[in-house]
Structure 1
Amino acid sequence: MTDTGWTLTASEGELQILTGVAGPAAMMGHRLTIAMASWRADVQWRGKQPTAAELVVDVDSLQVVKGEGGVTPLTGPEKGVVRSNALKALEVKKFPQITFTATDITKAIGGYRLDGTVNIHGTSRPQTVDLAVEDTGGVWVLTASAPVRQTQFGIKPYSLFVGSLKVADEVNIRFTARYPK
């Protein structure tokens, strides 16, 4: 059997963070869709079995795509403020990358289960990701979604009005990519 590898980047897919709102004034806040515009996923294969995978995300590539809900629509300048606050909370200068390294990959119904370690904000924690793989003819479509609690990585969720409006602690990471056969 030969060893091969795949490399995926933002040109083949998207990596998004979906946030919620919490606190007594939650109805005033926006549920955000944030895109990470610069990332790279490397997958190592032995024959037809993936053996390792690593995802590296450049934190400074964070872009606020949209905000749903809230009292008023999220404007362009407000998106800039949200981006600035997020980069400050993530301490981008000190922790410029987020990584996920899968060291145990097992076949599952409809795809693979990836067990490994995620490193965010200088803190490493075990993480399991269920990756769905769909054969659409000439392209493999890969999708995954995983919840992450900010406070487990030493990140204080952004808040306003003495905590009565804040970003929910748990965010959802959503990944989609297309890889040609």
Structure 2
Amino acid sequence: MTDPWTLTAAEGELQILTGVGGPAAKMGHRLTIAMASWRADVQWRGKQPVGVELVVDVDSLQVIKGEGGVTPLTGPEKGVVRSNALKALDVKKYPQITFSAEDISKTEAGYRLDGTVEIHGTSRPQTVDVAVGDSGDVWVMSASVPVLQTQFGVKPYSLFVGSLKVADEVNLRFTARHPK
């Protein structure tokens, strides 16, 4: 039995990348949002991962940057974006996002995790392909997963009667390093 791994924001990043939609989309910013507090526990049987549990603290959401838009995204605007995102995610009622992988299979590039994600109180099946690379003394892991907010009861933020809105599909990007 191999010791379990615990990965946190100290070993990697968990980011959300958004797009913009609507007739006034050129006015909006494509956002990079970081989740600053998360924990992934990986269980092993020999050299094979057999379970993964990820817990993300929604209140740790931080707006890193905004690309595009008519003007650059300022510090105060980042605060407004954060507030709107926490309201849309109803952080007081749903303080965590979770993913639990019950089935893990080896792939050419790493592992396929089949499990359940819970966002905003709604659970859905989710598959995550994790690429794993050997970087000498560390394992490097990465994954990118598209998620439709509306499938989890999250209403994408919009302005001007919907003529400018956050795109329904966001992309979750995960990277981490673990010593061998």
The TM-score with structure 1 as length reference comes to: 0.99
- Structure 1 unaligned spans of 5+: none
Q: Are the counterparts in 1 of residues 2 and 47 from structure 2 also a CA contact under 8 Å?
A: no
**Alignment partner, residue 122 of structure 1:** 121
RMSD: 0.5
Q: Provide the C-alpha distance between the structure 1 equivalents of 2:135 and 2:75, rounded to a whole number of angstroms.
A: 37
Residue number in structure 1 paired with 2:105 = 106
CA distance in 2, matches of 1:173, 1:107: 21
Instruction: Give yes or no for the alignment of 1:132 onto 2:136.
Output: no
Establish whether residue 29 from structure 1 lines up as the match of residue 23 from structure 2: no
Shift of 1:110: 1.3
Equivalenced residue count is 180
1:81 aligned counterpart, secondary structure? helix
Per the TM alignment, residue 4 of structure 1 is displaced from its structure 2 partner at its CA by: 2.5
Please list the CA deviations of residues 42-90 of structure 1 after superposition, one character each: whole Å capped at 9, or x if unmatched: 0000000000001100000000000000000000000000000000000
Partner of 1:166: 165
Pairing 1:91–2:90 present: yes
Q: Indicate the percent of aligned positions where both proteins have the same amino acid.
A: 83
1:3 Cα deviation (Å)? 4.6
Question: How far, CA to CA, are the matches of 2:111 and 2:73 in structure 1?
Answer: 37
Deviation digits for residues 96-144 of structure 1 (CA, Å, limit 9, x no counterpart):
0000000000000110000000000000000000000001010000000
Q: TM-score, normalised by structure 2?
A: 0.99
Residue by residue over 1:135-179, the C-alpha shift from the partner in whole angstroms, topping out at 9 and shown as x without a partner, is: 101000000000000000000000000000000000000000000
Unpaired runs of at least 5, structure 2:
none
Does 1:155 pair with 2:151?
no
The residue that corresponds to 1:16 in the other structure is 15
State the one-letter code of the partner of 2:18.
Answer: T
1:46-85 matches, cutoff 5 A: 46-85=45-84
SS in 2 for 1:73: coil
Is 1:40 aligned to 2:39, yes or no? Answer: yes
Secondary structure of the structure 1 residue equivalent to 2:91 = coil
Q: Which runs of 4+ in 1 moved over 6 A?
A: none
Distance in 2, Cα, partners of 1:83 & 1:18: 14
For the residues of structure 1 that align with 2:143 and 2:110, how far apart are their CA atoms? Answer: 10
